[in-house]
Amino acid sequence: MGKVVLVTGVARPLAGRFVRRLGRDPDVDRVVAVDAVEPEHDLGDAEFVRADIRQPTIARVLAQTAADTVVHMDVSGTPLGSGSRASVKETNVIGTMQLLGACQKSPKVRRLVVKSSTNVYGSAPRDPAVFTETTPPKSLPSGGFAKDTVEVEGYVRGFARRRPDVAVCVLRFANILGPSGDSPLASYFSLPVLPTVFGYDPRLQFVHEDDVIEALWLGSAEERRATLNSGTFNIAGEGVLLLSQCARRLGRPTVPLPLPAVTWAGSAFRTLGMTDFSPEQIRLLTHGRVVATDQMRDTLGFVPAHTTAGTFEDFARGLGPGLLPPEAVAGAVDRIAALPVPGGTRSPHPSPAGPPAPGAGDAH
């Protein structure tokens, strides 16, 4: 039997796209798509198995399919359908534990790829300007999806120690955006008016959903690449954008609020079901986060087709026009910035997370 790849979380559109991508790989003979919910989208020639990774039955599925490669995509920050945050956490943490236990027992498994997130670094006022894969966070995430990813990666490291014969690839994706973006940050940018934290203009990085698919495919590549695509890698598009630049490109006005007011607004948005304005997202929109991608390029051998700016532009096209033309928003901001300040000249205020990195300019 040839290469058999098992993919979790296939009811989500991104995982569905990845399954179809695997189906076009001539080196893959069989794709097993697993989820507790039957997907609404097409999975191509993949074999769908309805199974909840939070239950021990996943071990039986892994044994029966004789999968040699497992791609764990069922780690997410948003509920699926009518699911709750509690069910998401159970799937992220308990589901990962069950899946890794099944992989540990299976002698067939030779490769494990885990979809993780740069959320593991958190967002704090004294963060370094750029995180590398080995930089410890100044403050560990205390809750939400960020804490889930920290726990998931801890379990993965334990598995790697117990099964050194398995090539383990952990991909830490920056904020994923695209025309069909479905994430808390995408919901935030979809608001008609963007609440921001007064006095802060965080630096943000994005990765295009198309590049996510290609990075996962490369991470799950054949055994002869085992020495290259094993390890932990930050995955992000080149460059950064300031939050103010994002608002200008969307044509959406911002409302700077004191941090307590933003926290209150976040609770209101969650109650109304408008967006998941979680505490971790508020910290991101306050302090920002930028990661180094040298290992992605030099070791994994992956170069995203989209920059951070290009990813956001594609996402913005999918949203449609904002309340104001982007040119009008940009012009108003520039005129305000040029106003004289009593007692001296106006000087720019960089983000507290550090000065903009190369590529943070408004030019593409």
Phi, psi of 318 (to 5 degrees): -70, -30
For residue 346, the model assigns a pLDDT of 42
CB within 8 A of 244, min separation 6: which ones? 196, 201, 254, 333
CATH class of the domain at 3-177+206-237+291-306 = alpha beta
For residue 179, the model assigns a pLDDT of 84
pTM for the full predicted model: 0.85
For residue 270, the model assigns a pLDDT of 59
From first to last of its 364 residues, the chain has per-residue pLDDT tens of 579 999 999 999 999 999 999 999 999 999 999 999 999 999 999 999 999 999 999 999 999 999 999 999 999 887 776 566 788 889 999 999 999 999 999 999 999 999 999 999 999 999 999 999 999 887 777 778 889 999 999 999 999 999 999 999 999 999 999 987 678 888 889 888 899 999 999 999 999 999 999 999 999 986 545 455 679 999 999 999 999 999 999 999 999 988 887 777 666 665 555 555 678 888 999 999 999 999 999 999 999 999 999 999 999 998 876 555 555 444 444 444 444 544 444 444 444 444 444 444 444 3
For residue 351, the model assigns a pLDDT of 42
80: left (phi over 0), alpha (psi -120 to 50) or beta: beta
For residue 262, the model assigns a pLDDT of 75
Phi, psi of 345 (to 5 degrees): -90, 155
For residue 136, the model assigns a pLDDT of 86
Phi, psi of 157 (to 5 degrees): -65, -40
What are the structural domain ranges in the chain?
3-177+206-237+291-306
